[in-house]
Chains A and B, each alone.
Chain A
Amino acid sequence: MKNVIEAVELTKQYGSIKAVNHVSFTVECGEIFGFLGPNGAGKTTTIRMLTGVVKPDFGTAYIKGYDIRREALKAKQLMGVLPEVANAYIDLTVWGNLMFLGELYGVPGTVRRERAETLLRKLDLYDRRSQVVRGLSKGLKQRLLLCMALINNPEILFLDEPTSGLDVQSARLIKEMLLELAHEDVAIFLTTHNMEEANQLCDRVAIINHGEIAAVNRPERLRATVGEVKWIELAFDRPVKAESLARLSSVVEVKRLGDKLRLRTKDPNELIFQIVEYAKANKLKFLTLNTLAPSLEEAFLEITK
């Protein structure tokens, strides 16, 4: 079976608000599928319906063929889940939490222990296995939660904002782990606010806005939908006032980003000539001069406008 997740017209209403409105998409085996959207767009409600935590009012989802409404336990058995607001049991040790989750998924004792050891080593937590979770940092807790989501060796992994607010090392470890899992044919459904992360990790992304799917495509294609190069980034060997560059006729907008300047234009070619002239006239040396393709973030903002 190629499609391991199939959402069909998923709909959920809370009072008068339609949190998710007839959302449909598919996720293939080994694919990392990003689910992006502004706050309150319906990301968490969708993931909760897909994982059988909340029942849809209309529509359904098939997890490897199992209908989440009618065969929730069988579908859940195939999944690993890292909910957005999840926590491990803070009074149990790292090891205790993993063993408990393994028992909930019916993983036999020997397999459970072997898997727990492998996962803890991979996510650099093995030395902390006897530590009570209460004392762990947010990054370490999140790594443990990922280990817990993987203890049943799932075929499908659901992650709600997995790297949100994490330190660089933990975020990197988690991302590396996700790429490795996708390589092993695990389907990964990931919600994130981090466009760069979605760009790096996802094979396809869906953008949800006001409970409806606004676009589903590969990140590169989504970026292409917002048009050609619009920004030029540059840095000179000495500081330059943004206002003086803003006077160039091809410049629409100037932004300062650290020691660099970003110039928005409708005609990048003409602007480059103008910048070179400006540099010559002011005896400036270039440290950087780049054309910037539209980012996924711009595509996202354009689509959710």
Chain B
Amino acid sequence: MLDGSPGKSVLEQLRRSFAICKKDIRIYYAKGPVLIFGVLMPLFLFAAFLIGRDVDPRFLVSSLMSMTIFFSATAVVPAIMPWESQARTLERLVSSPVSVTALILGDILASFLFGAFLSLVPILIGLAMRIVVISPILLFGGVMLASFCYSSLAAILSTRPTDIPSNVMMISTFVKFPLLFISGVFIPIENLPRWGKIAASLSPLTYFTDLSRHSIEGRSYFPLLLDFLSLTAFTIFFFAAAVKLHEKNMPKRL
């Protein structure tokens, strides 16, 4: 129950976020088609990336890692609010004693777990290709941070007050693909022109790609600390913006 102490209230809200996370996983993520998409998407990306190109397999796996987490962590969250609005479950949720922050955090947590779980696919592909991860702890930390960061970005993409999921997915695609192309996933950052390097530095995807390359290839373009700090800063900004925008738009959804 909610009592006057701020610490306990925060803990209570956190518990409610976990309840929302569990609900999201059961309703939106633990579905055959979603899981199959999550596994097949990296495999197809890998094949498309590999066939006809003479690329270092380590570069290939680190890029695949970035793409997998990015796509899986941003795949479902943008559509959750429109779905809930359309299914008329949102008002029930909003009238319960759960803050908008806790509600959004619950959605982000589910997406974070989905993204982190699917990062196992490129890791398994890498192991099958006998690629050794040089810094597994670093990679693990990066995966966790990146998955949370991209999930928070996806929560921003769902702020438009519509109950038609396809409207949101269109915006989502419009944002996701340009980010992918400017982030050193297909071409290493060091090989990009000056304007490309500037554009890459504005993308959250760049820093995990760089971090992933360091963990697998043993070299990176940016210092590791900058990669972590940038990802953390993007995460805080995306999360705060998502909460503010959802708070503003929530009444328009009902």
Residue A92 interfacial (CB < 8 Å): yes
Contact A100 B89 (CB under 8 A): no
Partner of B97, one of A87, A91, A92, A104: A104
Nearest residue in A to B20 (C-beta to C-beta)? A104
A103 at the interface (CB under 8 A from B): yes
Instruction: Report the minimal beta-carbon distance from B124 to chain A, rounded to whole angstroms.
Output: 29
**Separation of A85 and B88 alpha carbons in the complex (Å):** 6
**Least Cβ distance of B236 to chain A in Å?**
23
In the complex formed, the residue of B with least CB distance to A99 is B19
List CB contacts (< 8 Å) of A93-119 with chain B: 96, 100-101, 103-106
User: Is there a chain B Cβ closer than 8 Å to A251's Cβ?
Assistant: no
CA distance A31 to B121 in the complex (A): 59
Interface string of A43-58 (1 = CB under 8 A from B): 0000010011111000
Are B15 and A103 in contact (CB-based, < 8 A)?
yes
Partner of A91, one of B15, B27, B94: B27
Q: What's the Cα separation between A79 and B88 when bound, in Å?
A: 19
Contact: B89 with A88, CB < 8 Å?
yes
Task: Give every chain A residue within 8 A of B251 (Cβ-Cβ).
Answer: 53-55
Of the residues A52, A77, A87, contact of B88 by C-beta under 8 Å: A87
Distance, CA A90 to CA B88, complexed state (A): 10
Rounded to whole angstroms, the CA-CA distance of A214 and B1 in the bound complex is: 38
Q: Mark A214-244, 1 if CB is under 8 A from B, else 0.
A: 0000000000000000000000000000000
Is the CB–CB distance between B16 and A86 below 8 Å? no
Given A91-B26, A100-B19 in contact, is the A105-B89 Cβ separation under 8 Å?
Answer: no
Task: Please report the C-alpha to C-alpha distance between residue A101 and residue B96 in the assembled complex, in whole angstroms.
Answer: 8
What is the minimal beta-carbon distance from B232 to any residue of chain A, in angstroms? Answer: 28
**Interface presence of B60 (CB below 8 A):** no
B87 within 8 A of A: yes
Which residue from B87, B95, B98, B99 sits with its C-beta under 8 Å from A90?
A: B87
Question: Looking at the complex, which one of A53, A88, A96, A104 makes contact with B91 (CB distance below 8 Å)?
Answer: A53
Check B95 against A51 for contact (C-beta < 8 Å).
yes
Cβ–Cβ < 8 Å partners of A104 in chain B: 16, 19-20, 93, 96-98
Chain B's nearest CB lies how many Å from the CB of A150? Answer: 13
How many angstroms from the CA of A87 to the CA of B83 in the assembled complex? 12
A76 to B251: give the CA distance in the assembly, Å: 16
List which B1-44 residues lie within 8 A (CB) of chain A. 1-2, 9, 12, 15-16, 19-20, 22-23, 26-27
Instruction: List the B side residues contacting A76 at CB < 8 Å.
Output: 95-97
Residues of B within 8 A of A52 (CB): 95
Query: A213 CA to B13 CA in the complex, in Å?
Result: 37
Docked-complex contact B92 and A81, CB < 8 angstroms: yes
Residues of B within 8 A of A148 (CB): 92
State how many residues of chain A have any CB contact under 8 Å with chain B: 30
* B79 → A minimal CB distance (Å): 14
Q: Say yes or no for A301: interface residue by CB 8 A criterion.
A: no
Whether A106 and B16, one on each chain, are in contact in the complex, defined by CB atoms closer than 8 angstroms, is: yes
Q: Are B87 and A105 in contact (CB under 8 A)?
A: no
Contact assessment for A83 and B15 in the assembled complex, using a CB-CB cutoff below 8 Å: no
Cβ contacts under 8 Å, A54 to chain B: 251, 254
Assembly CA distance A155 to B15 (angstroms): 23
Question: Quick check: A106 and B26 within 8 Å, CB to CB?
Answer: no
Are A100 and B94 closer than 8 Å at their CB atoms? no
* Across-interface contacts of B95 in A (CB, < 8 A): 51-53, 76, 79, 81, 83
Interface membership of A183, Cβ < 8 A: no
- Is A273 interfacial (CB 8 A cutoff)? no
Residue of B nearest to A103 (CB): B19
The residue on A at minimum CB distance from B2 is: A77
Q: How far is the CA of A100 from the CA of B98 in the complex (A)?
A: 12
Let me know if B19 and A74 touch, CB within 8 A: no
Given A76-B95, A105-B96: A48 and B2 within 8 A (CB)? no
In contact, B2 and A74 (Cβ under 8 angstroms) = yes
Whether A105 lies near B27 (C-beta < 8 A) is no
List 26 A-B pairs, Cβ < 8 Å: A51-B95, A53-B94, A53-B254, A54-B254, A73-B2, A73-B97, A77-B1, A77-B97, A81-B95, A83-B91, A88-B92, A89-B23, A89-B89, A90-B87, A91-B26, A92-B23, A100-B22, A100-B23, A103-B16, A103-B22, A104-B16, A104-B93, A105-B96, A106-B1, A106-B2, A145-B92
13 extra interchain contacts, Cβ-Cβ under 8 A, other than A48-B254, A87-B87?
A53-B95, A73-B2, A73-B9, A73-B97, A76-B96, A77-B2, A79-B95, A83-B95, A91-B27, A92-B27, A103-B16, A104-B19, A104-B96
Q: Which residues of B contact A (CB under 8 A)?
A: 1-2, 9, 12, 15-16, 19-20, 22-23, 26-27, 87-89, 91-99, 251, 254
| Closest CB pairs A-B (n = 3) | A103-B19, A76-B97, A87-B88
